[in-house]
């Protein structure tokens, strides 16, 4: 079975997807982490974030691996754990540019489809319902107000131990800028699939969102 969860930055996709994956023993695949890993690789190689052929070569050299360790998803590249590095503001600010590159998307979508073909999956991202898994049995589009998403991101930073000097207002601006870029890129932009169910999580608890999605899956 395939479950697709799409939506803008910090709408709660990964939080609920992880819980549902645990409850149903599905494999959770965080596709945003893969594009973030591509961005870390580009930076480590000193490449311009628009240098498509250079970035593709560097990804081939270093590789990207998603591993589950003690119930947590970890991201490895070139033998190193880059799970914290992929969440830093510098990477967040540049991931939209890297993820808009046609070759990078083609490579990641190929990988994502391979992973999804082997097992029951719940996959979160921007184009899962529209492009990566168009035949997913359940498609969810999560939205929330920009302010509440900024507050959640700040909380998420604290929980992950990531230091930041950014205020909620600055984070809200960054999130809005990233959403704009992700929604307006040429290839598979952030968009609700026609057959996706939209859930506004602004005033919902995590448990409420999880229950609503579990009900759809059970149906």
Binding site for ligand DC (CB under 6 A): 9, 31-32, 35-36, 95-96, 99, 125-128, 178, 182
Report in angstroms how near the CB of residue 181 gets to ligand DC at its nearest. 7
Helix and strand element counts for the chain (H, E): 8, 8
128 or 154: whose CB is closer to ligand DC? 128
78 or 174: whose CB is closer to ligand DC? 174
SS3 204: coil
Report in angstroms how near the CB of residue 14 gets to ligand DC at its nearest. 7
DSSP for 178-190, please give it. HHHHHHH-SSS-S
Report yes or no: 33 and 17 within 8 Å, Cβ to Cβ.
no
Report in angstroms how near the CB of residue 127 gets to ligand DC at its nearest. 5
- How wide is the angle at C-alpha 65 spanned by C-alphas 162 and 174, nearest 5°? 35
186 or 219: whose CB is closer to ligand DC? 186
40 or 210: whose CB is closer to ligand DC? 40
128 or 215: whose CB is closer to ligand DC? 128
The radius of gyration of the chain from alpha carbons, rounded to an integer in Å, stands at: 16
Report in angstroms how near the CB of residue 204 gets to ligand DC at its nearest. 19
Dihedral angle of Cα 22, 27, 31, 32, to the nearest 10 degrees: 20
Instruction: Please give, one letter per residue, the 3-state secondary structure of 29-87.
Output: EEHHHHHHHHHHHHHHCCCCCCCHHHHHHHHHHHCCEEEEECCEEEEEECCEECCCHHH
25 or 135: whose CB is closer to ligand DC? 135
Report in angstroms how near the CB of residue 79 gets to ligand DC at its nearest. 22
Report yes or no: 39 and 50 within 8 Å, Cβ to Cβ.
no
- Distance between CA atoms of 23 and 39, rounded to whole angstroms? 31
Report in angstroms how near the CB of residue 65 gets to ligand DC at its nearest. 17
């Amino acid at each position: 079975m395939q479950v697709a969860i799409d939506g803008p930055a910090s709408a709660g996709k990964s939080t609920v997807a992880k819980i549902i994956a645990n409850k149903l023993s599905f494999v959770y695949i965080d596709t945003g982490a893969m594009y973030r890993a591509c961005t870390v690789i580009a930076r480590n190689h000193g490449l311009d974030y628009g240098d498509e052929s250079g970035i593709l070569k560097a990804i081939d050299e270093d590789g990207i691996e998603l591993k589950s360790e003690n119930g947590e998803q970890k991201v490895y590249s070139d033998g190193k754990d880059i799970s914290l590095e992929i969440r830093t503001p510098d990477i967040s600010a540049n991931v939209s540019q890297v993820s808009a590159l046609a070759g990078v998307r083609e490579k990641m979508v190929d990988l994502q489809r391979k992973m999804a073909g082997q097992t029951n999956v719940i996959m979160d991202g921007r184009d899962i319902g529209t492009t990566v898994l168009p035949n997913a049995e359940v498609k969810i589009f999560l939205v929330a107000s920009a302010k509440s998403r900024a507050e959640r991101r700040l909380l998420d930073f604290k929980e992950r131990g990531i230091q930041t000097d950014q205020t909620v207002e600055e984070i809200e601006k960054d999130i809005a800028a990233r959403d704009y870029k992700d929604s307006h890129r040429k290839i598979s932009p952030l968009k609700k699939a026609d057959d996706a169910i939209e859930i506004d999580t602004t005033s919902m608890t995590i448990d409420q969102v999880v229950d609503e999605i579990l009900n759809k899956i059970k149906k």
